[in-house]
């Protein structure tokens, strides 16, 4: 098994592209195959500086390793199409020699005139095809000596595929099933541009063949190109070596109306890129990493945008995704992006992550908030108490700051409703007993509170919220008696005597 991910450095990596790369990675590793990265940079006019580095950093963060790439090489390089330019010219000339491609010398003005003429005669989709090429300036209509003269004179030309007329082209797609298109519906695509660079179609087919790619797993926006690529394999005589194809569905907007885009993220306040980056106008685009997502959660949630394991299990490690992934369980329809579900995935991975892997992050959060001295055992206990309320690790301070400093944003509204003389009297008795008791433990604190509730005829729902708000600023939180012990006797008494 040899699969590849082939992004273009014409912009920053969208999560839809990362999802496609992950499907390739899962598939390759499941069958102990090779995962190749190929940079398709033939469109130099749209090249974005830094885009390739962004791709590298993205997959480093995701924990995805390429077996072959521009950075670690391999037996089938180079892995940037711009460095393979001589190879494409050779294969384009091979198609000309076999009669499957031809030179076209039409100017931009002549092409525009052809399209306007067709549109004026009621053709809404004018094409350079098996019919219109007969009236254009190309090697099929010009005498051979005229073609030679133009080539020798260095005239600008492109090389086009010569599509047959009225021929069915049929290809099997692992996800879509059989795809059948008649060649009369297809145009003579440009294979080699006037600048000598190949188009996607030529470079894609040649590279997949010469790199011995066994399966092409790509976005379904390339599905319309499948008949052309199938036909090109036939023209080259490579049908026996043609890879199997699988076109994965797009990621849809939250409302399901169209493909997810950067504008959707900007409008709705979530990221559509794995990593943050700076725009040319000085603005910035947010990334999942910078929003606080764990890379394990990011990989897990992207896997579920189009694929499902056929069971109720949703939380997977990378190893489990590799073991369970199969193309047959990738759906045909696009999946709506749900940011709330994305946050749920992060929460699930966060609460399962071993404390040892989070310790340094938690300590950094405390240090940034002026807390530098903390017992590591206490920190682990505190994390175990608050993690269920944390979507991101950065929520740790908001959810557990009261263990280290005075509670912020005290729920005074609730406190005023339950602040009665009966409760204050019970609290005075509790604090007096805790202060005078030689033992300070969660068990002893619980016994004192329960004994006082019994003698004062108070229910837990009356007293507990009052104690919690005084200790933590909120009526909901971790186990109350364990919280007292972690705060320590002195701080517990100080906070409980605020309303004594």
Distance CA 46, CA 49 (A): 10
Please give the C-alpha separations between residue 191 and each of 113, 156, 161, 259, 435, in angstroms, as whole numbers: 22, 14, 6, 28, 85
Place of tokens 């950094």: 364
Active site residues: 262
487 C-beta neighbours (distance < 10 Å), count: 19
Distance CA 333, CA 220 (A): 10
| CB 209 within 8 Å of CB 113 | no
Closest C-alpha to 78, from 90, 63, 93, 88: 88
Helix/strand/coil (H, E, C) string of the chain? CEEEECCCCCCCCCHHHHHHHHHHHHHHHHCCCEEEECECCCCHHHCCCCHHHHHHHHHHHHCCCCCEECCCECCCCCCEHHHCHHHHHHHHHHHHHCCCEEEECCCHHHHHHHHHHHHHCCCCCCCCCCCHHHHCCECCCCCHHHHHHHHHCCCCCEEEECCCCCCEEEEEECCCEEEEEEHHHCCCCEEECCCCCECHHHHHHHHHHHCCCCEEEEEHHHHHHHHHHHHHHHHHCCHHHCCEEEEECCEECCCCCCECCHHHHHHHCCCCCCCCEECCCCCEECCHHHHCCCHHHHHHHHHCCCECCCCCCCCCCHHHHHHHCCHHHECCCCEECCHHHHHHHHHHHHHHCCHHHHHHHHHHHHHHCCCCCCCHHHHHHHHHHHHHHCCCCCHHHHHHHHHCCCCCCCCHHHHHHHCCHHHHHHHHHHHHHHHHCCCCCHHHHHHHHHHHHHHHCCCHHHHHHHHHHHHHCCCCCCCHHHHHHHHCHHHHHHHHHHHC
Distance CA 160, CA 307 (A): 37
Q: Residue 222: CB partners within 8 Å, gap ≥ 6?
A: 247
């Amino acid at each position: 098994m040899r699969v590849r991910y082939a992004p273009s450095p014409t912009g920053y990596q969208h999560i839809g592209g990362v999802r496609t790369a992950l499907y390739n990675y899962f598939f390759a590793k499941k069958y102990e195959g090779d995962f190749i990265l190929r940079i398709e940079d033939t469109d130099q006019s749209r090249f974005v500086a830094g885009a390739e580095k962004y791709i590298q950093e993205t997959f480093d963060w995701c924990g995805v390793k390429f077996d072959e790439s521009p950075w670690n090489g391999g037996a089938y390089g180079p892995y940037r199409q711009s460095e393979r330019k001589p190879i494409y010219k050779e294969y384009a000339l091979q198609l000309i020699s076999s009669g499957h491609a031809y030179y076209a010398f039409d100017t931009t003005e002549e092409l525009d005139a052809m399209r306007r003429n067709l549109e004026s005669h009621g053709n809404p989709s004018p094409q350079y095809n098996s019919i219109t090429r007969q009236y254009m300036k190309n090697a099929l209509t010009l005498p051979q000596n005229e073609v030679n003269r133009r080539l020798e004179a260095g005239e600008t030309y492109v090389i086009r595929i010569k599509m047959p007329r009225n021929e069915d082209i049929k290809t099997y797609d692992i996800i879509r099933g059989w795809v059948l298109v008649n060649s009369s519906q297809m145009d003579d695509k440009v294979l080699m541009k006037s600048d000598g660079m190949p188009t996607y179609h030529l470079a894609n087919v040649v590279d997949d063949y010469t790199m011995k790619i066994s399966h092409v797993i790509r976005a379904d926006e390339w599905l319309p190109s499948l008949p052309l690529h199938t036909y090109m394999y036939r023209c080259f005589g490579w049908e026996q070596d043609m890879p199997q194809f699988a076109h994965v569905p797009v990621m849809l907007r939250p409302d399901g109306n169209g493909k997810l885009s950067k504008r959707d993220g900007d409008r709705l306040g979530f990221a559509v890129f794995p990593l943050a980056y700076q725009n040319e106008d000085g603005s910035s685009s947010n990334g999942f990493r910078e929003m606080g997502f764990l890379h394990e959660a990011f990989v897990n949630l992207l896997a579920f945008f189009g694929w499902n394991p056929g069971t109720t299990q949703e939380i997977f490690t990378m190893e489990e995704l590799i073991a369970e992934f199969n193309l047959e369980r990738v759906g045909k329809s696009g999946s709506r992006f749900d940011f709330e579900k994305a946050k749920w995935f992060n929460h699930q991975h966060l609460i399962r992550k071993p404390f040892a892997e989070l310790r340094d992050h938690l300590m950094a959060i405390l240090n940034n908030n002026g807390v530098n001295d903390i017992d590591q055992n206490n920190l682990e206990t505190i994390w175990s108490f608050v993690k269920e309320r944390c979507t991101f690790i950065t929520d740790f301070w908001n959810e557990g700051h009261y263990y280290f400093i005075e509670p912020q944003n005290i729920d005074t509204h609730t406190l005023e409703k339950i602040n009665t003389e009966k409760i204050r009297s019970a609290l005075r008795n509790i604090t007096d007993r805790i202060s005078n008791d030689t033992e300070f433990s969660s068990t002893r604190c619980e016994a004192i509170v329960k004994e006082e509730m019994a003698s004062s005829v108070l229910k837990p729902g009356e007293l507990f919220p009052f104690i919690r708000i005084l200790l933590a600023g909120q009526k909901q939180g971790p186990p109350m008696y364990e919280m007292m012990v972690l705060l320590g006797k002195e701080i517990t008494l100080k906070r409980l005597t605020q309303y004594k």
